[in-house]
Structure 1
Amino acid sequence: MSTGIPLNKHFPVASPIAYGCMGLGGSGPHIEDRDVKQAHEVIECALASGINFFDHADIYRDGRAEQVFGKVVTDNPQYRENMIIQSKCGIRKKDGAQVGRYDFSSDWVRESVDGILSRLNLDYIDVLMLHRPDPLMALDELAEQVLRLKKQGKINHIAVSNMNLHQISFLQSALGMPIVSNQIEMSLEKLDWLDDGVSVGSERNSQVDFVSGTLEYCQRHQIQLQAWGSLARGLYSEQGIDSNDPKVRATAELVKTLANKYQVGSEAILLAFLLRHPAKIQPVIGTTQIRRIKNAIQALDIRLERSDWYNLYVISRGRPLP
């Protein structure tokens, strides 16, 4: 099986596909034996398939995703040396009369990292990712805390999620360490990252909900682009064939046709679409189904023909290119 091209200088041995752990930890409120068993099977399958990059967030299953992952790794310490572990902080859920909000304050980031490490039962994580922009971010305060966590050995790298190039550049201006990744939604369903580029000079340009230049900025500054939602929630797999939406149905039918052509699962076609882009996008898959994980990894063994890539793009966007 192909291992893909090294992502960038910060992660030369990272797998081209990452596993997103948001589905681990059960439905709560407590972790059951079956949740541990599921997490163990998923982690084992991912590692056996060549996935070594695991993506967490402190809010996933209210922390249970990290807890169950930490239990599996504690019980199987040999797994850790083959893993790159990333977790996110900054989103605070609704609590009583307090609305949901974002928080990059120094105290909250410190407290969040300590909580992440405790739940994962680790001394450090490879990557701390800031989870969505906080409008009240105090730049110097945040930068100082990030560097302190780095010096304390609690984090190795800093990354961001759902940020545009201006926000990344602003944050980078105060940091003494490089921002290594930016995780944004990218899939056959979420195409604004592509539509932004092709719609320049067209009447639809103002309708694209994406900040121009973000992809190019990340590529130019060696900031790894990670794609959340990369499998489009199964929308273009088997369930899409019977959709009432003609665009979804047409896309699902094309995905099925291409899966037969390349002799892979439908998940592989969805990821191959992202992997074909020269930005070396790292898709993050979140399925807990072993079959779908194995199908997704097949994407590394194929390279979509240019005509197939454009057919997927145009049909899934539902209108011709300008």
Structure 2
Amino acid sequence: MRTMKLGKSTLDVPVVSVGCMRINSLEKNEAEHFVQTAMELGANFFDHADIYGGGECEEIFADAIHMNDDVREKIILQSKCGIRNGMFDFSKEHILESVDGILRRLKTDYLDVLLLHRPDTLMEPEEVAEAFDTLESSGKVRHFGVSNQNPMQIQLLKKSVKQTIVANQLQLSITNSTMISNGFNVNMENEAAVNRDASVLEFCRLNDITIQPWSPFQYGFFEGVFLGNEKFPELNQKIDEIAKKYEVSNTTIAIAWLLRHPAQMQPVIGTMNEGRLKDCVKASEIKLTREEWYSIFRAAGNVLP
């Protein structure tokens, strides 16, 4: 699979990340086969979080991939922390404890990337900085990022944190694209002009922070998948038309739409279906034309001024 640099780091990563939130839905042999298939496809970047399955997903993954030193050298591991017991916690104590738990469950000595999962309004940047310094100096975490954060929250974090923020994981799909659509409606009196994220797309591009779109097939928060959904007839007709041209699936085109954006995003794919995973990886070989990208955007109900 095609690769890219993650943020300003020297880390080469595949342009599609394998999200492991649902790996606990597979039987042991299914999980082993899925992970092996991902590796064969070059999809060796695996995204986790300490809350997925209450930590069970990380354990299942480590067993499925038969974690050892040789395997560890061939994969890139990312996990997230900061959500616990109905609240968010960026305290130094919680971050350090969380990482120790993540490493234990993944059966590894280090994470390639650690993301802070959801913004904590009680965050004290100095505490996060101390935690990051400890994790970096001990070799437990090599790169750091955030998830679901707007530009000012990242700037506040950077007030004390010296490490480069390499990624920001954000909800983004063809049907959930307000971070794109509000850029077309600057200074206009319509709903699409409402800037809900402080221009996070442009901020990440200016600062070389890789956007990792999560739920790239979902509409709403978690209301369902837009592909093949009768609620989106025009969008599916357009996607199917373009998929036929390239002789690929509609899944491939939905991911290719994200990869076409010059922000150089890295979608996080949550499927545990090997066929769909292959379709997602196939997207790295396709570059939609400008006309195709905009036609899909408009078919999703977005109106250009």
Tell me the TM-score range normalised by the shorter chain. over 0.9
Residue 294 of structure 1, CA deviation = 0.5
Q: Normalised by the size of structure 1, how large is the TM-score?
A: 0.88
- Give, in whole Å, the separation in 1 of the partners of 2:278 and 2:42: 10
The answer to whether the 8 A contact 1:265-1:298 is kept is: no
The answer to whether the 8 A contact 1:7-1:16 is kept is: no
- Structure 2 counterpart SS, 1:82: coil
Aligned to 1:167: 153
Q: 1:279 to 1:303 in 2, by over 3 A?
A: same
Deviation readout 1:44-82 (Å, 9 max, x if unpaired): 111111112110001111111101011123356533211
The answer to whether the 8 A contact 1:197-1:212 is kept is: no
Letter in 2 for 1:149: L
Q: Does 1:13 align with 2:12?
A: yes
- Give, in whole Å, the separation in 1 of the partners of 2:79 and 2:4: 23
Deviation readout 1:285-322 (Å, 9 max, x if unpaired): 01000000001111111111111100111111x14211
Aligned residues: 301
Aligned to 1:96: none
- After TM superposition, list the pairs within 5 Å mapping 1:63-212 onto structure 2: 63-74=55-66, 77-93=69-85, 100-204=86-190, 208=194, 210-212=196-198
Aligned to 1:280: 264
Letter in 1 for 2:274: I
The answer to whether the 8 A contact 2:5-2:12 is kept is: yes
Residue 4 of structure 1, CA deviation = 4.5
- Give, in whole Å, the separation in 2 of the partners of 1:5 and 1:139: 29
Letter in 2 for 1:276: R
- Structure 1 counterpart SS, 2:287: coil
- Give, in whole Å, the separation in 1 of the partners of 2:236 and 2:200: 29
> Larger helix proportion, structure 1 or 2?
1
The answer to whether the 8 A contact 2:216-2:268 is kept is: yes
Aligned to 1:232: 218
Runs of 4+ in 1 over 6 A off after TM superposition: none
Q: Normalised by the size of structure 2, how large is the TM-score?
A: 0.93
Where structure 2 has 5 or more consecutive residues not aligned to the other structure, the ranges are none
Aligned to 2:32: 40
Matched residues, percent identical?
A: 38
- Give, in whole Å, the separation in 1 of the partners of 2:84 and 2:2: 37
- Give, in whole Å, the separation in 1 of the partners of 2:117 and 2:214: 12
- Give, in whole Å, the separation in 2 of the partners of 1:77 and 1:185: 33
- Give, in whole Å, the separation in 2 of the partners of 1:189 and 1:201: 22
Residue 39 of structure 1, CA deviation = 1.9
Where structure 1 has 5 or more consecutive residues not aligned to the other structure, the ranges are 27-33, 94-99
Q: 1:198 to 1:188 in 2, by over 3 A?
A: same
Deviation readout 1:183-222 (Å, 9 max, x if unpaired): 0011112111111211102112676352233222212222
Select which of 31, 44, 60 maps to 1:52.
44
Letter in 2 for 1:10: S
